[in-house]
Amino acid sequence: AQSVTQPDIHITVSEGASLELRCNYSYGATPYLFWYVQSPGQGLQLLLKYFSGDTLVQGIKGFEAEFKRSQSSFNLRKPSVHWSDAAEYFCAVARSYNTDKLIFGTGTRLQVFP
């Protein structure tokens, strides 16, 4: 069965520092991969997605993620974090384009210090 692992429950960084949030997935074929962000009391907002092609994908708010098949990973990065990036981040995987069902990881809570 598909699964998504986000090893870091909570990460704290200083404003202006770089950020990397880890995501590992379990699935035999190439999955469809997503990163969502959830601010307190809000729904989830799509940051970026990977379906095929270039393994480095750019998203909104200056985020990027790299798909590494050999490591079954899809880590999210940002070169310089802003205080407004404090939120919960979820990695998700879909088995196929037509299945539509997303399997989410447990999330990583990002705290940003000034």
Partner 1 sequence: EAGVAQSPRYKIIEKRQSVAFWCNPISGHATLYWYQQILGQGPKLLIQFQNNGVVDDSQLPKDRFSAERLKGVDSTLKIQPAKLEDSAVYLCASIPVQGALGYGYTFGSGTRLTVV
Window of 18-26, 62-70, 76-84, 96-104 that interacts with partner 1 by CB under 8 A: 96-104
45 scored as a contact of partner 1 (CB under 8 A): yes
Q: DSSP 3-state assignment of 114?
A: coil
Indicate the pairing of strand 10-14 with strand 108-113: parallel
Beta bridge partners of 92: 34, 104
Q: DSSP 3-state assignment of 70?
A: helix
Nearest in space to 107 (alpha carbons), one of 88, 94, 92: 88
54 scored as a contact of partner 1 (CB under 8 A): no
102 scored as a contact of partner 1 (CB under 8 A): yes
How far is the CA of 32 from the CAs of 3, 6, 80, 92, 110, in angstroms? 12, 16, 27, 8, 24
**Which of 29, 70, 98, 114 is close enough to bind partner 1 by CB under 8 A?**
98
Q: How far is the CB of 22 from partner 1 (least distance, A)?
A: 14
42 scored as a contact of partner 1 (CB under 8 A): yes
Residue indicated by tokens 């990065």:
77
Window of 20-28, 67-75, 77-85, 88-96 that interacts with partner 1 by CB under 8 A: 88-96
Residues that bind partner 1 (CB under 8 A): 4, 32, 34, 41-46, 49, 51, 90, 92, 94, 97-102, 104-107
